[in-house]
Structure 1
Amino acid sequence: MAYDGEQEQSRPGVLVVPEWWGLNDYARRRARDLAALGYVALAVDMYGGGKATIDPEQAGAWAGEIGKDPEMARARFMAALRALERQQGVDPERIAAIGYCFGGTVVLSMARAGVDLDGVVSFHGTLPVAGPPTPEQIEAEVLVLHGGADSYVTDAQMASFKRQMRRAGADFDIITYRGAKHSFTNPAADATAQMYDLDVGYDARAEQQSWLEMRTFLVRVLGH
Structure 2
Amino acid sequence: MTSESLEYTIDGRNYIGHIAYDDTRSGPRPGIILVHEWWGLNDFVREQADKLAEQGYTAFAIDMYGDAAQADNPDDAKAMMLSVKDTPGELEKRYRGALEVLKAHDSVDPERIASQGYCFGGAVSLNMARLGLDLKGVVSFHGNLGTDIQIKPGDIKGQLQVYTGGADVMIPPQQVAAFVEEMQEAGVRFDLINYPGAQHGFTNPGATAKGQKFGFPVGYDANAARDAWEGSLAFYKRLFG
Taking the TM superposition and a 5 Å limit, the aligned residue runs for 1:34-113 are 34-113=52-131
State the distance in 2 between where 1:70 and 1:188 align. 32
CA distance in 2 between partners of 1:59 and 1:16 (Å): 18
Q: How does 1:200-211 map to 2 (within 5 A)?
A: 200-211=218-229
RMSD: 1.0
Give the superposition deviation at 1:65. 1.9
When you count strand as a share of all residues, which structure comes out higher? Answer: 2
Q: Which moved more, 1:131-140 or 1:29-38?
A: 131-140
**In structure 1, what is the Cα distance between the partners aligned to 2:86 and 2:183?**
22
Aligned amino acid, residue 36 of structure 2: P
Contact 1:116/1:139, CA 8 A, preserved across alignment: yes
Matches within 5 A, 1:49-198: 49-198=67-216
User: TM-score by structure 1 length?
Assistant: 0.97
SS at match of 1:107: helix
Superposition deviation, residue 132 in structure 1: 2.3
| Residue range with higher mean Cα deviation, 97-106 or 45-54 | 45-54
Q: TM-score, normalised by structure 2?
A: 0.90
Q: Aligned partners of 1:43 and 1:69: how far apart in 2?
A: 22
Contact 1:35 1:41 in 2 (8 A): yes
Counterpart selection for 1:20 from 38, 48, 54:
38
Larger RCO (CA under 8 A, 6+ residues apart): 1
1:64 CA drift (Å)? 1.2
Q: Which runs of 4+ in 1 moved over 4 A?
A: none
Aligned pair in 2 of structure 1 residues 124, 70: CA closer, same or farther (>3 Å)?
farther
Using the TM superposition, give the Cα deviation of residue 70 of structure 1 relative to its aligned residue in structure 2, in angstroms.
Answer: 4.5
Letter in 2 for 1:22: G
Percent identity of paired positions between Structure 1 and Structure 2: 45
Q: Is the 8 A contact 2:127 2:149 kept in 1?
A: no
Q: Deviations over 1:80-121 (max 9, x none)?
A: 111011001111111101000100000011111111000000
Structure 2 unaligned runs (5+)?
1-18
How far residue 3 of structure 1 moved from its aligned partner, in angstroms, is: 0.7
- Counterpart Cα distance in 2 of 1:37 and 1:54: 31
- The answer on whether the counterparts of 1:119 and 1:221 sit within 8 Å (CA) in structure 2 is yes
1:164-220 alpha-carbon deviations (Å, 9 max, x no partner): 111111111100111111000111111101100000000000000000000000111
Partner of 2:134, secondary structure, is: coil
Match for 2:131: what amino acid? A
Judge conservation of contact 2:164–2:195 (CA < 8 Å) in 1: yes
Partners of 1:129 and 1:160 within 8 A in 2: no
| Equivalent-residue separation in structure 2 for 1:129 and 1:46 (angstroms) | 19
